[in-house]
Amino acid sequence: MRKLRYHLVDVFTDRQFGGNPLAVFTNGRGVSTEMMQTIAKELNLSETTFVLPPEDAANDYRVRIFTPGQELPMAGHPTVGTTFVLAREHLIERGSDDTTTEIKLEEGVGTIPVRIEWRAGGAAGFIEMRQPLPTFGLCVENSAAVAEMLSIEESEIVETNLPLEVVSCGVPFLYVPVKSLRAVQSIKFRVDVWESKLKDVVPPEVFVFTREVEFDGSTVHSRMFAPGLGIYEDPATGGASGPLGCYLVQHGVLPCDGEVELTSEQGIEMGRPSFIKIKIARNGEEITDVRVGGECRFMGEGYLEIED
């Protein structure tokens, strides 16, 4: 039997039992892809990560990310949470006078730079990743089908005067603007409608947002559904938050004269409040930088016994 040790951390939160839980295996050497996927399904969290030596010596680590259903080329809360665990386990070098440290993680989309802000006591505080620049894709015209999928009135979408659009900073999401907080809170995602009317048209990740918020300091209230990945609802989605910021800037929802910062509140309906910080930089009409960050809380650790 081989013992595989893992760490459990809540990501994009400053409190226990908030944010998005993540399991991090800091030593993924010798674990097959099939076993990584089986472990992710066994733990049944939104994502589980495995840390490996980098393929390029200029980088710090390679990180593989799995949902219960499949491997992802990039994701936000696994990147931030894995970095937090690496820092906590002293697997990231930090100078005695350093207030910040930058590392480079290899993921399926390429190299992801990550910046760590250190607390006075030496623990990792705010962690921020840089995401690939956005690509804007398909605009979905069938707002009636999307509304039916979400179990809300079509007018809640149409009256925003914003597009139903696929945007990606490494992973594509369908962005659905909704007029009222009440409608977003009432969503009951219908997998049958997604499968019958939209599965072959849009990505398996559907990100819903409204400008009405519950918490002071938040910019948007968000929910994310990904039935195609084995995730009914996700409490905090960093990989979707970068494209969300790009969408809001691209369509003039948020003015951006050089740089804009915003906060997405997510996971409220799940009882796991999450707060994701987003920074978008733009030069003229071109988005030039996408950053997503937040805090983490360590929750515990354990091990799995795997038959060789």
> What is the pTM assigned to this prediction?
0.93
Q: How is residue 272 written in tokens?
A: 């796991």
Burial of residue 94 (CB within 10 Å: 0-12, 13-18, 19+) is middle
Q: Give the number of domains in the chain.
A: 2
Question: Could you tell me the residue range of the domain that residue 20 belongs to?
Answer: 2-130+295-306
**162 plus 104 within the same structural domain:** no
- Summarised one tens digit per residue, pLDDT across range 241-276 is 999 999 999 999 998 889 999 999 999 999 999 999
Indicate if the pLDDT at residue 234 is higher than 90.
Answer: yes
Ranges 74-78, 181-185, 225-229, most confident: 181-185
Residues near 235 by beta carbon (within 8 Å), at least 6 away in sequence: 19, 20, 46, 266, 267, 270, 272, 274
Dist. CA 177–CA 157, nearest whole Å = 6
Centre a 10 Å sphere on the Cβ of residue 260 and count the other Cβ atoms it contains. 17
Dist. CA 143–CA 293, nearest whole Å = 31
**140 plus 281 within the same structural domain:** yes
**121 plus 165 within the same structural domain:** no
**289 plus 299 within the same structural domain:** no
What pLDDT, on the 0 to 100 scale, is given for residue 225? Answer: 96
What pLDDT, on the 0 to 100 scale, is given for residue 250? Answer: 96
pLDDT interval class at 98 (50, 70, 90) = confident
- Summarised one tens digit per residue, pLDDT across range 119-156 is 988 899 999 999 999 999 999 999 999 999 999 999 99
**265 plus 159 within the same structural domain:** yes
What pLDDT, on the 0 to 100 scale, is given for residue 137? Answer: 95
| Dihedral in degrees, nearest 10, Cα atoms 164, 168, 172, 175 | -20
**126 plus 139 within the same structural domain:** no
Average pLDDT over residues 279-285: 94
**261 plus 175 within the same structural domain:** yes
Q: What is the residue-wise DSSP string for 273-300?
A: -EEEEEEEEEETTEEEEEEEEE-EEEEE
**207 plus 117 within the same structural domain:** no
Which residue out of 34, 42, 47, 295 is catalytically annotated?
A: 47
Dist. CA 150–CA 152, nearest whole Å = 6
| Known active-site residue 47 | yes
Dist. CA 164–CA 144, nearest whole Å = 11
- Summarised one tens digit per residue, pLDDT across range 12-35 is 998 899 999 999 999 999 999 999
**144 plus 265 within the same structural domain:** yes
**260 plus 186 within the same structural domain:** yes
**285 plus 167 within the same structural domain:** yes
Q: What is the mean pLDDT of the chain?
A: 95
Report DSSP state, residue 162: -
- Summarised one tens digit per residue, pLDDT across range 103-113 is 999 999 999 99
**289 plus 143 within the same structural domain:** yes
Which CATH number does the domain housing residue 264 bear? 3.10.310.10
